[in-house]
Amino acid sequence: MSDTPARFGIEGFASVERDPHGLERVAITTPLANAHIYLHGSHLTHFQPRDRRPILFLSAKSLFQPGKAIRGGVPLIFPWFGPNAADTSLPAHGFARTRAWNLEAITRRGDEAVIEMSLAASDATRALWPHDFELRYRASVGAALEMALTVHNTGAAPFTFEEALHTYLSVEDVRRVCVHGLAGKDYLDKVRGGRRFTEGSAPLTITQEVDRVYVGTRADVTVDDSAADRRLLVSKSDSDATVVWNPWIDRARALADFGDEEWPQMLCIESGNIGESAVTLPPGAEHTMTAIVSSL
Ligand code: TA6
């Protein structure tokens, strides 16, 4: 593993360092927030606005190894969501989250840090998905966290992909949260065999395992974390699906890289294009999806 050149650092603002496991990450310390973004998966694991609690959940049991997904933060999901529909032996949630990305730039925009990373098709990705592409990820770390994932078709034929910014929010107690913004939306319920239901008019509460893909929605989602006396906001653009996930007790126990007692501390609110909102890109075309996460 070679070191990223020191020229990427900005004195007292951003630096490239190795974490305790030996993986490279960008460490951001600005007047507005702290953050960590790994080159592994272009995976943002930590975001904490100044004088606030951390906004993202990261499991104490997470693996930090090349080829393995990090459990928590914001995994980047591409080019398929969940198991591959045609071949379940392929890695769940695609390969973007487990590959080494290139750090393109760290720039300062006032008190914000902007980190840009890229991932291009290679023989290894073509063995899993036979298309030429370039991904660009831009994370702006300020009072809010703004993420933009751009997919560029660099090949000669169209391709179709799914994607998600699989955001693990940190909550004090998931049993006491209210999720606003999904009322009246249709969802596919993975806990009930993927069947389609329509959300009622009341805010969503979490009382058991929840694994839902809300479809046809670009709405903001607010998580009212009453036990912490704060609200978290996820807003987005060019994303037509919102996933809500908490594994609850039994599924948490079944996940080797997730603590048995950690499930009350997280709720995934994921911005994506999944299933019926999968995106088809002609040669040369680009698609950008964004999500903004903040604490109100
Ligand atoms: O986004 C929800 C989900 O697809 C769930 O079905 C759940 O399994 C979760 O992602 C985590 O998947 P992972 O492959 O990271 O274990």
From 43, 93, 274, mutation site for ligand 1 pocket: most ligand atoms within 8 A of C-beta:
93
**Separation of CA 50 and ligand 1 centre (Å):** 30
Task: Quote the pTM value.
Answer: 0.97
CB of 164 closer than 6 angstroms to any ligand 1 atom: no
Question: Considering the chain, what is the average pLDDT of its residues?
Answer: 96
Q: What is the pLDDT of residues 88-127, one digit of tens each?
A: 999 999 999 999 999 999 999 999 999 999 999 999 999 9
Q: What is the pLDDT of residues 232-274, one digit of tens each?
A: 999 999 999 999 999 999 999 999 999 999 999 999 999 999 9
Residue 12 is predicted with a pLDDT of: 81
CB of 127 closer than 6 angstroms to any ligand 1 atom: no
**Separation of CA 82 and ligand 1 centre (Å):** 6
Q: Average pLDDT, stretch 285-292?
A: 98
Q: Average pLDDT, stretch 275-289?
A: 98
Q: What is the pLDDT of residues 5-30, one digit of tens each?
A: 656 778 888 999 999 999 999 999 99
Which ligand 1 atom is nearest residue 251's CA?
A: 8
Residue 4 is predicted with a pLDDT of: 67
> Which tokens sit at 125?
């990705």
Q: What is the pLDDT of residues 154-167, one digit of tens each?
A: 999 999 999 999 99
CB of 211 closer than 6 angstroms to any ligand 1 atom: yes
From 70, 169, 211, mutation site for ligand 1 pocket: most ligand atoms within 8 A of C-beta:
211
Residue 3 is predicted with a pLDDT of: 66
CB of 112 closer than 6 angstroms to any ligand 1 atom: no
Which ligand 1 atom is nearest residue 243's CA?
A: 1
Which residues have a catalytic role annotated?
A: 166, 270
From 248, 268, 270, 271, mutation site for ligand 1 pocket: most ligand atoms within 8 A of C-beta:
268
Which ligand 1 atom is nearest residue 270's CA?
A: 1
> Which tokens sit at 210?
């929840």
Q: Average pLDDT, stretch 33-61?
A: 98
Indicate if the pLDDT at residue 1 is higher than 90: no
d(CA 218, CA 237): 7
**Separation of CA 29 and ligand 1 centre (Å):** 30
Which ligand 1 atom is nearest residue 71's CA?
A: 15
CB of 92 closer than 6 angstroms to any ligand 1 atom: yes
CB of 252 closer than 6 angstroms to any ligand 1 atom: no
What percentage of residues in the chain have a pLDDT greater than 70? 98
Which of 104, 7, 22 is closest to 63 using CA atoms?
Answer: 22
Residue 243 is predicted with a pLDDT of: 98
Q: What is the pLDDT of residues 174-227, one digit of tens each?
A: 999 999 999 999 999 999 999 999 999 999 999 999 999 999 999 999 999 999
Residue 9 is predicted with a pLDDT of: 78
Residue 5 is predicted with a pLDDT of: 63
What percentage of residues in the chain have a pLDDT greater than 90? 96
Which ligand 1 atom is nearest residue 190's CA?
A: 6
d(CA 27, CA 16): 6
CB neighbourhood size of 76 (10 A)? 25
Q: Average pLDDT, stretch 39-62?
A: 98
d(CA 223, CA 233): 6
d(CA 66, CA 3): 15
DSSP 39-66: TBTTEEEEEEETTS--SB-B-TT----T
